[in-house]
Amino acid sequence: ITFNAAISACEKGEMWEPALLLLGEMAAERVERNTITCNAAVSACQKGWAWDFALQLLREMAIDRVRTDTITFNAAISSC
């Protein structure tokens, strides 16, 4: 929950780099990513015009079998 809140705060502040760093910390601490966490990170990338990272995260979600939804795809498309 703490990671979700922190990544959501990064998204609201249009701070995509810290959002991705937090995702990396989640992996390092073996905390499982979920749709809400990844959506916030994709949205942070979208707001920061970091389309390449948004699309990379979308690919990682598929590889890690994290469920995607309309929010995921809308944010990824809007980032381009």
For the chain, 80 residues long, give each residue's pLDDT as a single digit of tens. Answer: 789 999 999 999 999 999 999 999 999 999 999 999 999 999 999 999 999 999 999 999 999 999 999 999 999 999 88
Contact 36, 67 (CB under 8 A): no
Half-sphere exposure at residue 6, Cβ-oriented, CA atoms within 13 angstroms: 13
The model's pTM: 0.91
